[in-house]
A and B are shown apart, each in its own frame.
Chain A
Amino acid sequence: DQQVKQNSPSLSVQEGRISILNCDYTNSMFDYFLWYKKYPAEGPTFLISISSIKDKNEDGRFTVFLNKSAKHLSLHIVPSQPGDSAVYFCAAFGTTGNQFYFGTGTSLTVIP
């Protein structure tokens, strides 16, 4: 049962434009959400996170939005750069657990 879903397997964006990656979850017990970025032949690297008590968190070009009522979060990258081309995983963490629940990933390609 996939509790975290990323319904877009891939996304292409022109350099300088905004990239919006989406993630949906089903478990209302999730209270912490993260985005990880993964390059080929490397492990996932932490990008940005958000607690369920917030609806927005910003770090430089990266902003994560959380809509708890819709059980939806999104990652905005502005402006997009070619170096942002990677697979992005959404992950959720529950109040009672100690494991991440990952989505299936979205492959972002930023076209120069």
Chain B
Amino acid sequence: ETGVTQSPTHLIKTRGQQVTLRCSSQSGHNTVSWYQQALGQGPQFIFQYYREEENGRGNFPPRFSGLQFPNYSSELNVNALELDDSALYLCASSPGRRNTEAFFGQGTRLTVV
């Protein structure tokens, strides 16, 4: 059974650019959630995908978008990057929508300069 893996682990982008982060969910899990963790803060919910459909969204602007594939892996896309988007992006997978015990990946550290 593989765990949750995210790629890349680190990324540096310029303000205004676009970025795509990837997440492979744990085997058997059909739900993926994305979180943003800014420095010194707790993770903040971005959105959740359940069986390829968005199933809830936090307080993030539309330039944060996502996708889930038939194999339940997922992408997080961020357009028009801003300096404040610099953060650790965490992906969590779970076997259902109410993911009370989600398994997290190691995260992608995004730096926007």
The answer on a CB contact under 8 Å between A99 and B56 is: yes
The answer on a CB contact under 8 Å between B104 and A100 is: no
A4, B58: Cα distance in complex, Å: 15
- Cross-interface CB contact of A43 among B98, B99, B107, cutoff 8 Å: B107
User: Closest CB of chain B to A49's CB: distance in Å?
Assistant: 7
A36, B107: Cα distance in complex, Å: 15
State how many residues of chain A have any CB contact under 8 Å with chain B: 24
- Cross-interface CB contact of B42 among A41, A99, A103, cutoff 8 Å: A103
* Chain B window 36-51, contacts with chain A (Cβ cutoff 8 Å), 1 for yes, 0 for no: 0000111111001000
Contacts of B58 in A (CB 8 A): 99
The answer on a CB contact under 8 Å between B97 and A49 is: no
A92, B31: Cα distance in complex, Å: 18
The answer on a CB contact under 8 Å between A98 and B42 is: no
At the interface, yes or no: B101 with Cβ under 8 Å from chain A? yes
Contacts of B6 in A (CB 8 A): 43
Contacts of B98 in A (CB 8 A): 93, 98
A residues at B contact (CB < 8 Å): 4, 6, 32, 34, 36, 41-46, 49, 89, 91, 93, 97-105
Apart from A93-B98, A98-B97, A99-B45: 10 A-B pairs, beta carbons within 8 A: A6-B42, A42-B107, A43-B90, A43-B107, A98-B56, A98-B98, A100-B43, A101-B45, A102-B43, A104-B41
A-B contacts, 21 of them at CB < 8 A, read A4-B42, A32-B100, A34-B100, A36-B104, A42-B106, A42-B107, A43-B90, A43-B104, A43-B107, A44-B90, A44-B104, A46-B102, A46-B103, A93-B98, A99-B56, A100-B35, A100-B45, A100-B102, A102-B42, A102-B43, A104-B40
Please name the 3 residue pairs, one residue from A and one from B, whose CB atoms are nearest each other, closest first: A102-B42, A43-B104, A99-B45
B residues at A contact (CB < 8 Å): 4, 6, 33, 35, 40-45, 48, 55-56, 58, 90, 92, 97-107
